């Protein structure tokens, strides 16, 4: 997918690093590609480099192609504590309080992105939203409302582990799903 990522880019030589993504000066992607992202092993980890204005462009445009670009870089390298399957307008914030994990779900469908002030008079509900967990919570509570939910066991993507799924039918503006870990402190 092509994205508009205009701005100051540094031309870098990949050397022994692996080129993950390329950028092109126009819509012709057959030739002329330059490094847009690369990875290099370092000790027991890996360093990713995007030698361009990725953050500034996303902050200014919130372009879906830019979001997808970042997801392609991060997803293979990070196993989240909680995965969320939801429309891209749902923002997720994790917080801990004592031994419990609070998953804040925020609907940003009415988010201000214009340079000048614009009034928002309607925020549509989104859903369903699924939380996928690699561990079974002892208790799940949804706020507001205090509703208790039960996770559903399902095979994970690689079929070797079990994933636990919690589904919320809809999200209006803000909901907190509080997860109490099992006694062995899995989280």
Q: State pLDDT tens for residues 141-180.
A: 999 888 888 778 776 565 556 788 889 999 999 999 999 8
Q: State pLDDT tens for residues 94-125.
A: 999 888 999 999 998 877 666 666 677 778 89
Q: Would you state the pLDDT for residue 2?
A: 75
Which residues, including other chains, have CB under 8 Å from residue 2's CB and lie 6 or more apart?
27, 29, 65
Q: Tell me phi and psi for residue 8, to 5 degrees.
A: -80, 115
Q: State pLDDT tens for residues 76-88.
A: 998 888 899 999 8
The Cα–Cα gap between 118 and 18 comes to: 43
Q: Would you state the pLDDT for residue 20?
A: 95
Q: State pLDDT tens for residues 15-54.
A: 999 999 999 888 888 888 899 999 999 999 999 999 999 9
Q: Would you state the pLDDT for residue 94?
A: 94
The Cα–Cα gap between 36 and 9 comes to: 8
pTM: 0.77
Length of the chain: 187
Q: How confident is the model at residue 8 (pLDDT cuts 50, 70, 90)?
A: very high
Instruction: Report the CATH number of the 83-180 domain.
Output: 2.60.40.1180
Of 93, 89, 97, 103, residue with least CA distance to 132? 103
| C-alpha dist (Å) from residue 166 to 50, 99, 128, 154, 172 | 35, 19, 10, 11, 17
Domain locations in the chain as residue ranges = 18-77, 83-180
């Amino acid at each position: 997918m092509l994205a508009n990522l205009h701005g100051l880019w540094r031309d870098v030589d990949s050397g022994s690093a692996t080129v993950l993504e390329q950028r092109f000066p126009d819509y012709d992607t057959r030739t002329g590609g330059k490094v847009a992202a690369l990875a290099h092993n370092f000790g027991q980890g890996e360093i990713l480099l995007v030698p361009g204005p990725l953050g500034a462009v996303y902050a200014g445009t919130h372009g879906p192609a830019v979001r997808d670009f970042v997801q392609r870089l991060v997803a293979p390298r990070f196993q989240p504590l909680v995965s969320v399957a939801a429309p891209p307008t749902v923002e997720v914030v994790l917080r801990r309080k004592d031994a419990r994990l609070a998953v804040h779900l925020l609907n940003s469908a009415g988010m201000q992105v214009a340079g000048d002030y614009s009034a928002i008079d309607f925020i549509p509900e989104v859903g369903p939203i699924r939380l996928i967990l690699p561990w079974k919570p002892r208790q799940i509570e949804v706020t507001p409302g205090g509703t208790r939910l039960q996770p559903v066991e399902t095979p994970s993507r690689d079929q070797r582990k079990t994933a636990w799924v919690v589904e919320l039918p809809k999200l209006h503006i803000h909901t907190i799903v509080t997860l109490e870990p099992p006694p062995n402190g899995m989280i």
